[in-house]
């Protein structure tokens, strides 16, 4: 039986907030009109959504529309509640409105527009100063959400928008974000493989904000060493092996012992 863990910082934020702050299941969404937004072009698609550049016809301003694919209402409510709680926070993408298509009832989220440069192309050209600048801005975004009792759980280059011309950074895609409550067991099927912390790879469910710091560390390493991704595992097992090959197994085993974490037998052959 694994031992519980507790965040070293911001552990009790949500216990000091009113219930409606974190109880997203009881949240009632105030849906607006989709007619105010005209889609211009498709920017991309993910597992849970399709994203478009759009125009707000009421003021002629560019915005981004994220049309959600059919998922549990609970997940949609969680994303909206978190975005509303974080609105105005340092380097957090601004949620401008939530709307529903009048006919299909498909929900969509309206965000501020960021003139983004693709990270995979950008990071090749960044100077030492640029790297420090953008990582500091990303750290400010993470410190802000953590100080508000929220883990992002999907930090990766794809979710960091950088307008290099204006030196503006925004942390986006809060679809996997969750409220932190000490001792709560969370789903380990979060974050993208190359950015998953060891706790996810060994199925330890009582993780905390430090999950996001690992992902940030992976981005930092990839920028410094110009190797994207930095830990390139073929599957979740190989991912932990790649990490251990760089950082050693000694501290991994100390960690497993400390929290009484049982390692999947498949690891014994590959980690020794």
Binding-site residue numbers for ATP are: 66
**Residue 201 burial (CB count, 10 A):** 23
Catalytic residues: 154
- How, if at all, do strands 32-33 and 95-100 pair? parallel
Angle at 246 between CA 236 and CA 174, to 5 degrees: 50
Q: According to DSSP H, which parts of 87-209 are helical?
A: 119-125, 128-147, 198-201
DSSP 32-77: EEGGGEEEEEEEEE-SSEEEEEEEETTTTEEEEEEEEPS--HHHHH
88: left (phi over 0), alpha (psi -120 to 50) or beta: left
Please answer whether residues 173 and 156 qualify as being in contact, where contact means their C-beta atoms are separated by less than 8 angstroms.
no
Which residue in this structure is represented by tokens 């953008």?
134
Instruction: Retrieve residue 11's tokens.
Output: 């552990």
18: left (phi over 0), alpha (psi -120 to 50) or beta: beta
Provide Rg for the chain, Cα atoms: 20
Binding-site sequence positions: 66
Distant-in-sequence, close-in-space partners of 105: CB < 8 Å, separation ≥ 6: none
């Amino acid at each position: 039986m694994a031992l519980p863990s507790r965040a070293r910082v911001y552990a009790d934020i949500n216990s000091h907030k009113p219930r409606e702050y974190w109880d997203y299941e009881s949240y009632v969404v105030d849906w607006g009109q989709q007619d105010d937004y005209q889609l211009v072009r498709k920017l991309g698609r993910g597992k849970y959504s399709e994203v478009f550049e759009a125009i707000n016809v009421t003021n002629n301003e560019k915005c981004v529309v994220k049309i959600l694919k059919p998922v549990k209402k609970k997940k949609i409510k969680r994303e909206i509640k978190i975005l509303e709680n974080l609105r105005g926070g340092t380097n957090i993408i601004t949620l401008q409105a939530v709307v529903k298509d009048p006919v299909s009832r498909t929900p969509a989220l309206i965000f501020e527009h960021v003139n983004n440069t693709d990270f995979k192309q950008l990071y090749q050209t960044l100077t030492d100063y640029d790297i420090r600048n953008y990582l500091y801005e990303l750290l400010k975004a993470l410190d802000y959400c953590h100080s508000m009792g929220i883990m992002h759980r999907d930090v990766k280059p794809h979710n960091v928008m950088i307008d290099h011309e204006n030196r503006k950074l925004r942390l986006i895609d809060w679809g996997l974000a969750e409220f932190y409550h000490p001792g709560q067991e969370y789903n380990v099927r979060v974050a993208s493989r190359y950015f998953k912390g060891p706790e996810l790879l060994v199925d330890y469910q009582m993780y905390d904000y430090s999950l996001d710091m690992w992902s940030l560390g992976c981005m930092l390493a990839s920028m410094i060493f110009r190797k994207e991704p930095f830990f390139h595992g073929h599957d979740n097992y190989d991912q932990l092996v790649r990490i251990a090959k760089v950082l050693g197994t000694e501290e991994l085993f100390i960690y497993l012992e400390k929290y009484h974490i049982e390692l999947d037998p498949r690891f014994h052959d590959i980690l020794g």
